[in-house]
Structure formats: C-alpha cells, structure tokens
Structure 1
Amino acid sequence: MRQHLGGKPNAIEYRIEAPDEYLAQDSVRIAPSGLYLRRNAQLVFVAPAGGGRTPAYLERFRQGTARWYHIPIATINKQQTSHAIMQDIAHCAIAIHSTGKHSVINYVYDVRSVKLVQRHKITAEQSGKNDKASINKDTDTGQYWLFELGASHALNTPLQLNSQRKFKFKITSMSDILSATNGDMLAKRYSYLYQEALLDA
C-alpha cells in the first residue's frame, strides 16, 4: 500500500513521481467491466530477433512479412516491466543481424495482441525454431510473451543498432523510432523502472 501511495515514514525528501508511474502498476489498471484501459497507444517494443532462428523466420522480418515474436517472461521481469506495460505495447520493432557489428530494424509492426503462453504451446512457425531440436514439449513449461504482429511499416531509413552492445529489449515511442538515426538515440519509456531494477540487482 505504501508503494502506491508514495512516501516513507519519517522521510524528509520526496522524489517527484513520473507522470505515468502509478499507471504502470497492475493494481491501478482495473478498468470498468467491459472496457480496456490503455495509457499510451504509441509504445514500441524494440528487441533483437534472438539466436537460433531459421533463415525463413529472419527473412520474414527483413521483408516486412513477419507474424510472430516471442520473449521469455523472465527476461521482461528482470527489468521490472509490469503486465500492464506489456499489454499497452502497440508496435514492435525487431532488429535483424546485418553485416559486421550491426543489426538493423527495417520495419515497425502493429501489434494485434500480446499474451502470456506456455513455451510448449508456441508452434515452430511462431518461434522460428526447430521445436524438436530446441525444446521438449512435454516438460518445457516456461512462460513467454507472444506477440501477434499485424501490418508492417517500412522505415524511411533503416535503424542501425550496434550488435556489440547487448540488450534484451527496450520500450520506446513511435516518435523516437521515426526521428532516431541509430539505436543509441532511442529513449526508454518508463525509465524509472530500469533504474529501480538496477538498484535492486
């Protein structure tokens, strides 16, 4: 309760809360029956394609025809990103390894849906992996966020990311994607969550 109300007993200084900080908390996102509460319709989930993907899966991202992307919930939880934030994501931008030290984002996709599923329920088409070689469908019960991707929108200038700077994901805005010339320029939305995660690590 104290976390949601702000402040601590006997505290002298109080930090200024981010405008959308409390809405990032799941318990605050209880919408009236039959309605869906969304804070921001321009959030973009930026992430690398991941290793071990089939050439056909990667080629679909290069051509703007990809339909699925998945990422472990454990990866998301390490940066204390709540379910409410994940369900607010409206777009997805996946970086594909190019040449040398760089990965490239060519397209931004609309997100039709994002939901939690058990890993063994993700098909080979959705994962971009040979499931028989990569998982045991009978025992793998880890949870993953599964993105269903919709229409793709080609960037006027492909966005380059330095592959040597490893990152798992970043949540930014559409305006930042359209104005950035390289991945380092992408601002992080909900940056206070990243900072708190580092402090708790």
Structure 2
Amino acid sequence: MTQIFYPDLTMTAAVGGASGRDSAYFDAFANGSAQWYHMPQRTFHGQYRQHVVEEIRFLALATTSADTPHTKQLDKLWPVKKVTLRPLNELNAKHAGKVSDSTELYYLFELGKPLTLPQPITHVPHRPIRNTMRLTTLSRLEQAKEFCDIESVYQNALAPAKKL
C-alpha cells in the first residue's frame, strides 16, 4: 500500500543548459511537443527522499524567458506518465538532447501533453538546477507570479543534510 499526501504533487525544475544539445530538444519544450525530461539521480536525492519521485504527477519545467533572457520562466505544466531510472548512456537525443557514454543514473520522466499556465511564473534562476527545484501543488502554482512566490509542500520529504 502506498500513501500519497498530494494527488497533484508538482515539481518545478529547469530544462538543462544548451551546451552540446540539439536545438530541437529545446524547441520541443517551447512548442509543447516534448515527451521526455531527465534529471540526475544524485541531483534529485540531494533535494528529496527517494519515495517522492514516484509521487510526482506534474512537472513545471522552466525555460529561458523571452522577456528577460538571464532568467527562466514557467509557462507549461507537463503531466508525468511514468518515471524510470536509467544510465545516461541509454538515453538518446530525444530523451536528453544529446547522447553520452556516461553510466551515471538519471531519472527519465515520460511526459504527457502540457497544460499552459494562466500566467507565466517569472524570475526562475538559471543555475544551479537545485535552485529551480520545488515541490508544490497545482493550486499553489497557479497563485504564484514569481518563482519566489511558489509555496513549497512536503517538507518532511526533504533529503537529510549530508554529514561532513
């Protein structure tokens, strides 16, 4: 039996950088045709506990803002169909925008058709990706105008601090 605290759990995150990636990868996020999003397992586990990845129902993925190119914005909400954990070298250019020979483990999110947010959420930081990651809900996301306004949920799902 699995307990789910938020049936509309939404994670915000940024689409990766352009370095070495095919422009078609970014075009797919811009025009709403993207079918995949990937994230390093270590990045996710740096923020959240393992069980949370299976509870995420939506991804709000930040892309570079047309108005303010030094920041990103959230304007689409992607339903999550399925999440798998795979080595990066098993992901193709459609999955990741480029191919790699790395065996590092990545979460691969299969995406449904996106919904458009009523208003874009602006001022999402560019880097690092951890600064763009938040767990929230659909209603909380709809109330935000800027990224700093997004109310987080699920504080008990935060990853424990690492011991030095």
User: In the alignment, which residue of structure 2 is the partner of 1:44?
Assistant: 10
User: In the alignment, which residue of structure 2 is the partner of 1:184?
Assistant: 148
Q: Tell me if structure 1 keeps the 8 A contact 2:8–2:138.
A: yes
Q: CA deviation at 1:165?
A: 6.5
Between the aligned partners of 2:35 and 2:127, the Cα distance in structure 1 is 26
Q: Which runs of 5+ in 2 are unaligned?
A: none
The reply to whether residue 91 of structure 1 matches residue 91 of structure 2 is no
User: What residue identity is the alignment partner of 1:185?
Assistant: D
Residues 67/176 of structure 1: CA separation in 2 closer, same or farther (3 Å cut): same
User: In the alignment, which residue of structure 2 is the partner of 1:65?
Assistant: 33
Q: Which moved further from structure 2: 167-176 or 62-71?
A: 167-176
The share of aligned pairs that are identical, in percent, is: 27
Larger-Rg structure: 1
Q: Which runs of 5+ in 1 are unaligned?
A: 1-30
Query: 1:8-57 CA distances to partner (integer Å, 9 max, x unpaired)?
Result: xxxxxxxxxxxxxxxxxxxxxxx2xxxx5533221111111011332211
Between the aligned partners of 2:54 and 2:160, the Cα distance in structure 1 is 21
Between the aligned partners of 2:52 and 2:84, the Cα distance in structure 1 is 12
The reply to whether residue 112 of structure 1 matches residue 81 of structure 2 is yes
RMSD: 2.1
Q: Which has the higher contact order (CA 8 A, sep 6+)?
A: 2
Between the aligned partners of 1:157 and 1:49, the Cα distance in structure 2 is 19
Where 1:74 maps in the other structure, the secondary structure is: helix
Q: CA deviation at 1:116?
A: 0.9
Q: CA deviation at 1:148?
A: 0.2
